[in-house]
Structure 1
Amino acid sequence: MKVENFKTMWGFTGDFETACKEVKEAGFEGIEGKVPQVSEEKARWKECLEKYDLAFIGEIVTGGDYVPSRHHTLQGHINDVEEAIKNSLELNPRFMTCIGGCDAWSQEQSIEFFKSSMELAKKYNIEISFETHRSRSLFTPWMTKSIVDAIPEIKLTLDMSHWCVVCERLMTTELDTMKAIAANVHHIHSRVGYAQGPQVPHPGAPEYKEALLSHQEIWEIVWDAQNVKGMQITTMTPEFGPDGYLHTLPFTNAPIADLWEINCWMAETEMRHFNTYAEKKGLL
């Protein structure tokens, strides 16, 4: 078993080839992002991914934006999944990760959304993994466990940083629930949250050591479950980003850290962490 890191396109403002060069230089395996709609730009992405021999994880966002419109219908969310899958196939994604559903839905509505989305993924012969994300159907660990109980075959993209905010505590307080869903985790977004926010200013800062260790403890639980399932590769996307996540200085709005530096730090740290874990478990 080995770990592979992916660069998020969230917060990246340069051209796509520059992103590919950064990924290659940093030793990442590939890129995760929402595929452009414009055919010329999509063709450019395909060309660059092939040129730099990079894997790709496609992103699906339902409901109109990252915080879904409350007026978007259930069928509208399902339609968004199909359109995003169809738009991404040209890039041959390893799998799709989906920010989908709505936190205000009933459990029955969410189950219908996930089952319908999984049927669409099967139709297009691609895997789909659903992100644990606030404002979405998987906005708490307990709702997620209920969905897993109802749909045991569902795959999850685990981003605990959202749950830290919703629950106002670190998820090591909920280890029984974390263990119950660990076998369903297909992909990890390795951003570190804390009780009052989805993103610590820097995961290497000593004042946030407890938050980092909390996330790492649960990632090891996931790796244990993935190893039991016989997974040969575990994937992580360091997903520190902008848009209210990155801390800024008052009045100037100047960012207090460089996102790419943070994400590289996270990737390198988790590579070392995984290798230590794997050696301890006899996986190397």
Structure 2
Amino acid sequence: MRLLTTILIFIFGAINLTHGQEKVLFFQTDWGNQLSLDQFCERTKASGYDGIETWFPWDTKKQEELKAALKKHGLLVNFLHGTNKGLPFEASLEQFRKGLETITQWKPVLVNCHTGSDFYTASQNAAFIEAANAISAKNDVPVYHETHRGRFSYSLPETKQYLNTIPDLKLTLDISHWMVVHESLLEGQDELLDIVKNRSHHIHARIGHAEGPQVNDPKAPEWNRALERHLGIWEEIIRNGWKEHKGVFTVTTEFGPADYMPTLPYTRIPLSDQWEANVFMMEAIKERLKLNN
């Protein structure tokens, strides 16, 4: 309840949401950012975002800079957290727990986790999910687990197994990863996707395709089929999510920089502008949902 109250006050003051006031809070990724934190937040606000999504800064000076920039520009924050796959399982789990305890003390809108590993056993991955869910409940901060290559959620069938066995598992859906893992736009898999849609509480908006997790330019007409497929899935999740989250849903636009962004050979010049691609995604979702925010 604390989270919803904070968000609703941020958007509407003390006014309760009524029909027709549904809202999507948009967050800009700082992935690949080369600006100062203040400049990045200033540009984020000017582009129409409600907040930023970033890895938690463990340096105390950077923490103070982040607090100041968020306050100055009136922005919310989502934090990223993850499993360190380079450590032995028990050490990694302990580090994960301690880090998440610290992060949730900041009371972000949510924490998005890169959880577990595709090389861990099901019980090892479940230990990370259960630890995150316990800390989430204890500190009243939503913790979602991103569908991501290299993690427990690297594929649609594997993720479905975890959803079936862990009732309180909540996802951040970045379906672009699955498009490349399954070498398709997952057409014909809507029945399998139903449980994923119902358990997705945050979206990472990036357009993937059968051969990669990120198209070179989402505005290009050759990617229209992929764009429409993603938008259709997101629309269904958001509209359902509005019912559960009292009219508020969160989306992070997450097109990445070079070399995640396809580049020209030799020069490594990106084939499109990352910032423009992310703003395009925000506007495309608004248009799809007929939002005025």
Contact 1:49 1:55 in 2 (8 A): yes
Give the whole-Å Cα distance in 1 for the aligned partners of 2:105 and 2:127.
28
- The correspondence for 1:7, drawn from 21, 25, 28, is 28
For 1:36-91, what per-residue CA distance to the aligned partner results, in whole angstroms no more than 9, with x for missing partners?
Answer: 1110111110011111111110110221xxxx33xx33333322332332443464
**Structure 1 residues 241, 213: closer, same or farther in 2, change over 3 A?**
same
Distance 1:75 1:213 in 2: 42
Partner AA of 1:82 in structure 2: R
TM-score (normalizing by structure 2) = 0.87
Q: Which of the numbers 209, 213, 223 marks the counterpart of 2:224?
A: 209
For 1:226 and 1:20, the matched residues in 2 are separated by 27
What is the alpha-carbon distance in structure 1 between the residues aligned to residue 242 and residue 107 of structure 2?
Answer: 26
In 2, distance between residues paired with 1:252 and 1:19? 25
* Residue matched to 1:92: 107
Q: Please tell me whether residue 111 in structure 1 is matched to residue 126 in structure 2.
A: yes
Structure 1 counterpart of 2:16: none
1:218-276, Cα deviation, whole Å (9 max, x unpaired)? 11221243144354111111100025310110111111111111111111111111227
User: Hey, what does 1:139 align to over in structure 2?
Assistant: 154
Secondary structure at the counterpart of residue 172 of structure 1:
coil
- The answer to whether the 8 A contact 2:259-2:268 is kept is no
- 1:216 maps to a residue whose letter is L
Aligned to 2:188, what secondary structure does the other structure show? helix
> 2:165 and 2:251 mapped to 1: Cα distance?
26
Task: Give the Cα–Cα distance (whole angstroms) in 1 for the partners of residues 243 and 62 of structure 2.
Answer: 40
- Stretch of structure 1 that moved more, 187-196 or 264-273: 264-273
State the TM-score, normalizing by the size of structure 1: 0.90
Aligned equivalents of 1:162 and 1:60: distance in 2? Answer: 18
Q: Match for 1:82 among 66, 90, 97?
A: 97
Q: 1:60 aligns with which of 52, 67, 81?
A: 81
Matched, 1:50 2:71: yes
Instruction: Give the whole-Å Cα distance in 1 for the aligned partners of 2:200 and 2:108.
Output: 18
| Per-residue deviation, 1:109 | 2.1
Structure 2: 5+ residue stretches without partners: 1-21
Match of 1:121 in 2: 136
Separation in 1, partners of 2:98, 2:207? 31
Letter in 1 for 2:52: I
Unaligned segments of structure 1, at least 5 residues: 279-283
- 2:28, 2:109 → 1: CA distance? 14
Measure, in 2, the Cα distance between the counterparts of 1:124 and 1:76. 23
Instruction: Confirm whether residue 152 of structure 1 aligns to residue 173 of structure 2.
Output: no
Cα distance in structure 1, aligned partners of 2:200 and 2:159: 11
**What is the aligned partner in structure 1 of residue 45 from structure 2?**
24
120-129 vs 18-27, which deviates more?
A: 120-129
Identity %: 31
How big is the alpha-carbon RMSD for the aligned residues of Structure 1 and Structure 2?
A: 1.9
Shift of 1:164: 0.9
Instruction: Identify which of 241, 250, 259 aligns with 2:265.
Output: 250
